Chain A
Amino acid sequence: MAIEIEMPKLTDTMEDGVLSAWLVDEGDEVSAGDVIAQVETDKATMDVEAFDDGVLLKKMIDEGDSVPIGQLIAVLGEEGEDISDLVAGGDGAAEAEASATAEDDTSTTASDATETSDASESAAPAGDGQVRDREPEPVPAGTDEEGRRIKASPLARRLAKEHSIDLATMDGSGPEGRIVRRDVEARIEEGEAAPAEPETAPAPQPSTEPAFEMPTSVVDEAGELYESENISQMRKTISRRLAQSKYTAPHFYLTVDVDMANAVEARKKLNALTEKQDGPKISFNDFITKSCALALRQHPYVNASYLAKDGEIRKYNQVHVGVAVAIDEGLITPVIRNADRKGLAQISKETRELAGRARNRELQPEEFEGSTFTTSNLGMFGIEEFTAIINPPNAAILAIGEIRDEPVVEDGEVVPGKRMKITLSCDHRVVDGAVGAQFLQDVKRYLEDPMNMLL
């Protein structure tokens, strides 16, 4: 009975193995425990042992071949056993064909492999050289003009740097001329004792750090030139996510001017009702959340994610609207879940509650994660219109401006009007211009005639 030997999983993370050497030949007898081959994994070169006694009837792959875990690499059995089934089947016709012409293949593959490795070997130094040519010679810190390392304690180096003292101009009093604290302090005192030195207007030094020139001031000599603060976790998250969004999602922007006259009226009436019922006041933002949620239902590609890693566009069956809330440390977007199925009063209540808790940093992850769309409103700051960065993995974000009193032309007459500009930022990988525009049309329709929301 022939025994199949497969590429073993030799490390936890291994996916393929390169058969680096066969240690037995076809026709050789092997015993269980014999090392029959060596395999190069992602981590190391490891031995492949036979688990059974027998004769190595057939090598299925050649030295240098890379095959996935589980692929047949050899067949073990009794001398003269018929293994044509195994050799032909299992891994497909191509495999069979390959083994049929194994003799020829061996030589070509082997020489191919040699060529490849030769090529890469000779290419390596050349490529390396190019890179090095392009790189400027590093200028090691703390050396004198001749490039010799100046011996100084870490503290002395720090003090010298803080007081712009060049260590190369100093003698050290420590062992082997090490510059130590007292040497730098003595120099600082000397400097302070010598008023001739125009400390207030330092000559522009030949900068060793060409990248940035830090702002300096000759006016305010006493005060600090800047204040440092650590980058908070939230700022890091904002930085990472928004940079990722702008780098990977090609943004385009659509702006529409919405007539808010009816919405203003409707809100007045609704708030008169809620006041009687002791309910929460409805804000324009709640109107927008609701309008977007209803429009998202009709435009599945706006309520979607482009997931490059998973190789799919995911259209969500639920509508969860994130509402950007500014807090002291940055911003956060609590999520109104299933906003399309909630009434304005419910949306208002949830938004207020979540925003309040967001400001107190009390939100739980499930309360700010999982949005399928986001809105950001800067109208309260008098911003007429702006463009927002998409909150990944959303496909779009709506930026809301202020409601403006504006003269508008109605039936040929100029009358007072209420207008609001909203701008949709779209991820072009999933939302095309027309799709985004149609979505905006629907949002506009809901806002211009809020009765539509009831239908």
Chain B
Amino acid sequence: MATLQLREAIRAAMTEEMERDENVFLMGEEVAEYNGAYKVSQGMLDQFGPDRVIDTPIAELGFAGLGIGAAMSGLRPIIEFMTFNFSYVAFDQVVNNAPNMRYMSGGQFGCPIVFRGPNGAAGQLGATHSNSTEALYSNFPGLKVIAPSNPDDAKGLLKSAIRDDDPVVFLESEQMYGLKGEVSDESDYLLPIGKARIAREGDDVTIVAHSKSYHVTMKAAEELEKEGFSAEIIDPRTIKPLDIETIIRSVMKTNRLVVVDESSPFSSVASEVTHQVQERAFDHLDAPVLRVTPPDTPAPYAPNLMDRYMPSVEEIVRASKRVMYAAA
């Protein structure tokens, strides 16, 4: 086991896959000469040269489309968006061309591509640079969506994503790039896409949380523990395909569910989890499922408002107590 930052784990995954398969290449803004806007691709230009670590102009629609063409022609591109806010410029390519190509061509063309980069709010960046895209991209058949919460999961899942024969949206976090964690040394460390992780076992309430929210939720669980409540925390890791079985099993045990999600609430990941749970475990629920999400507003800039905007430990504790019918 080595202790790596999230950015190093992601770099290790890309480097290993590029060493293993010459068809894999990295393309995006500032990924080469500048070593990556967040230093994720540091040193990769030196190792692989300019044919495989490619700086692009500021033209997301163009280089996303270039990547899709390359993928259809047999390569395995990794397209880095400097942040997923900018993926909106490439929307048609990501949501319309990449996921539909296999279907529309009757299986003649696959599209083994990974779109990766930081996702979600990262402090005082304003409304246009604080988008959480996981719910959005999960809405398109044919796209897989991964949002890991730690370096080990990031490495294992990114390697699986690169080897996947279909398009994958791989969501990282600016605020987590420096997060350190133990990462498996296995040379071929692959984690299956679509498997959730029970991050913490408990009996009183199930809390589902991914990516950055997972860390907030773990703190909330500690607070709940102090008051005598044991929370079970499930990190879905992959948003789509969602490992609903693991969540259902947990809800059948605890009878209560809170879902934490940085997506805006309407049609969020939390909405989907809630829907599937009420459909499949209705008779096991002792309380309505509650969500902790940002409000349905643009992300604010002021730091005090931003604190209120993001899911917080207090909110998660409050929601958990409500579903347990415990005095607040």
Contact = CB atoms under 8 A, between A and B. Distances in A.
B51 interface: no
Interface of B: 255, 282-287, 325
Given A180-B286, A180-B287, A181-B286, A155 B255 contact: yes
Interface of A: 153-158, 173-175, 180-182
A157 B287 CA distance: 12
Give chain B's interface secondary structure class: loop
A425 B11 CA distance: 74
B94 to A, nearest CB: 32
B228 to A, nearest CB: 14
A154 B325 contact: no
B32 to A, nearest CB: 53
B328 to A, nearest CB: 12
A180 B323 CA distance: 10
Contacts of B286: 153-156, 180-181
Contacts of B287: 153, 174, 180
A171 to B, nearest CB: 14
Nearest to A156: B286
27 contacts: A153-B285, A153-B286, A153-B287, A154-B282, A154-B283, A154-B284, A154-B285, A154-B286, A155-B255, A155-B283, A155-B284, A155-B285, A155-B286, A156-B286, A157-B283, A158-B283, A158-B284, A173-B325, A174-B287, A174-B325, A175-B325, A180-B286, A180-B287, A180-B325, A181-B255, A181-B286, A182-B325
Nearest to A172: B325
Contacts of B282: 154
A157 to B, nearest CB: 7
Contacts of A174: 287, 325
A154 B283 CA distance: 5
A175 B288 CA distance: 11
Contacts of A182: 325
Give chain A's interface secondary structure class: helix
Contacts of A175: 325
Contacts of A153: 285-287
Contacts of B283: 154-155, 157-158
B291 to A, nearest CB: 17
List of 7 A-B pairs having minimum Cβ-Cβ separation, nearest first = A155-B286, A181-B286, A158-B283, A153-B286, A154-B283, A154-B282, A154-B285
Contacts of B325: 173-175, 180, 182
B18 to A, nearest CB: 46
A180 B285 CA distance: 9
A154 B285 CA distance: 6
A212 to B, nearest CB: 21
A175 B286 CA distance: 12
Contacts of A155: 255, 283-286
A180 B282 CA distance: 14
Contacts of B284: 154-155, 158
A173 B287 CA distance: 12
A157 B325 CA distance: 17
Given A154-B282, A155-B286, 19 more contacts: A153-B286, A153-B287, A154-B283, A154-B284, A154-B286, A155-B255, A155-B283, A155-B284, A155-B285, A157-B283, A158-B283, A158-B284, A173-B325, A174-B287, A174-B325, A175-B325, A180-B287, A180-B325, A182-B325
B135 to A, nearest CB: 26
Nearest to A152: B286
B254 to A, nearest CB: 11
B51 to A, nearest CB: 51
Nearest to A181: B286
A226 B40 CA distance: 61
A76 B211 CA distance: 67
A41 to B, nearest CB: 30
A172 to B, nearest CB: 10
Contacts of A181: 255, 286
A158 B284 CA distance: 8
A374 to B, nearest CB: 41
A180 B326 CA distance: 12
Contacts of A157: 283
Nearest to B282: A154
A388 B38 CA distance: 76
Nearest to A158: B283
Contacts of A173: 325
Contacts of B285: 153-155
A175 B284 CA distance: 18
B106 to A, nearest CB: 22
A142 to B, nearest CB: 13
Contacts of A180: 286-287, 325
A153 to B, nearest CB: 5
